[in-house]
Amino acid sequence: MAYVIYGDCIDVLDRSCVEVCPVDCIYEGARKAYIHPDECVDCGACEPVCPVTAIKYHDDVPESQAAFIEDNARFFLEPLPGRDEALGHPGGSNDLGPTGVDTPLVSSSPASSRGA
């Protein structure tokens, strides 16, 4: 696995991480961003620009946020709600654009007052 965006990103979607990612591996859901675990090159460029410090290397994710480690991968490996197929390896977030959908974990999370 690679870097992970965890729950503190929900309803923030600042996009600073997307803008600095040199390999275009950060994808936008409806309420949260997700890092593709196979596309990430572990450069760490995204971590310091996150305004809510919601990005960590998977080994450094706080225990209270551990559910987001697998959930981050689930975004790509399992069909998202309302879709027949998993995203898989889309080849870059710029070409795909915002997906408009999140994993059930994120979708069911309470609304955050941090949002834009």
- Delineate the domains of the chain, giving CATH numbers in brackets: 3-96 (3.30.70.20)
Q: pLDDT tens per residue, the chain (116 residues)?
A: 689 999 999 999 899 999 999 999 999 999 999 999 999 999 999 999 999 999 999 999 999 999 999 999 999 999 999 999 999 999 899 888 899 999 999 999 988 665 44
Neighbours of 107 (CB within 10 A): 15
Q: Which two tokens stand for residue 116?
A: 């834009």
pTM over cut 0.75: yes
Instruction: Transcribe the chain into DSSP letters.
Output: --EEE-GGGTTT---HHHHH-TT--EEE-SS-EEE-TTT-----TTGGG-TT--EEEGGGS-GGGTHHHHHHHHHHHSPPTT-SS-----S-HHHH---S---HHHHTSPPPTT--
